[in-house]
Amino acid sequence: MFNTVSGKKIAVLGFAFKKDTGDTRETPAIDVCKGLLGDKARLSIYDPQVTEDQIQRDLSMKKFDWDHPIHLQPMSPTSVKQASVVWDAYEATKDAHGICILTEWDEFKKLDYQRIYDNMQKPAFVFDGRNIVNVEKLREIGFIVYSIGKPLDPWLKDMPAVA
pLDDT classification of 91: cutoffs 50, 70, 90 = very high
Average pLDDT (64-83) is: 53
- Residue 64 pLDDT: 53
Model confidence pLDDT, tens digit, residues 42-54: 999 999 999 999 9
Model confidence pLDDT, tens digit, residues 114-144: 999 999 999 999 999 999 999 999 999 999 9
CATH of 9-158, one of 3.40.50.11900, 3.40.50.410, 3.20.20.80, 3.40.50.720: 3.40.50.720
Between 149 and 10, where is the model more confident? 10
Q: How is the chain split among helix, strand and coil, in percent rounded to 5?
A: 35, 15, 50
pLDDT classification of 160: cutoffs 50, 70, 90 = low
- Residue 38 pLDDT: 86
Identity of residue 121: Q
Instruction: Report the predicted TM-score, pTM, of the whole model to 2 decimal places.
Output: 0.85
Whole-angstrom distance, CA of residue 125 vs CA of residue 38: 19
